[in-house]
Amino acid sequence: MKDNIENIFEAKRNNFDFEEPNIGHFNRFEAKLADQSIHAKKTIRTQWHWLAIAASVILVFGYWLGNNNDNTGLELADVSAKMEETQNFYAATIHKEIEQIQGQKTIENQVIINDAFDQLKILEDHYQQLKIELKESNEDKRVIFAMISNYQKRLEVLQNLVDQLEDFKNYQELNPNAI
């Protein structure tokens, strides 16, 4: 293999270019490189300038959009310490009831549970609207009462579901072949 490469170079030796460039070639080449680097620096600086402006506009627009579309509203806990206690009580009780119901879920009672959870979803959506209303109404007492009433309705739905599940379980035990 080594001999083969040496033979190729020997055969092509006359084809290699051994000539020197014209006088001043290196100076002209360096001048062209300098011109290109100055032009490239201007282009890069201009691109960064526009990029910085675009980023600033996007940040200002995002900040404005975030502040104007703040639809989170206020929670009961934001009103007072007593309202925070009330909210925590209802939230904990609802969470406990949901966990208890999830533990009783079977194929036979799944329709009953899903129906109750659909009702809970409607009440949760209404509660989200009440949070926004509370913020806009400067903590109006009627809105606070409606929020507490919403929590109570959710607990009623869950309690009715627990009762229905208990009745359904008793019915199954009394009539095992009915279903």
**Mean pLDDT along residues 31-47:** 69
Instruction: Provide DSSP, 74-124.
Output: --GGGT-HHHHHHHHHHHHHHHHHHHHHHHH--TTTHHHHHHHHHHHHHHH
- Is the pLDDT higher at 56 or at 66? 56
Tell me the domain boundaries of the chain.
1-70, 76-174
**Mean pLDDT along residues 59-67:** 67
Q: What pLDDT digit, counting tens, does each position of 80-108 carry?
A: 888 889 989 999 999 999 998 888 888 88
> What pLDDT band is residue 17 in, cutting at 50, 70 and 90?
low
> What pLDDT band is residue 24 in, cutting at 50, 70 and 90?
confident
At 34 the pLDDT is: 80
User: What is the pTM assigned to this prediction?
Assistant: 0.59
Distance CA 34, CA 56 (A): 33
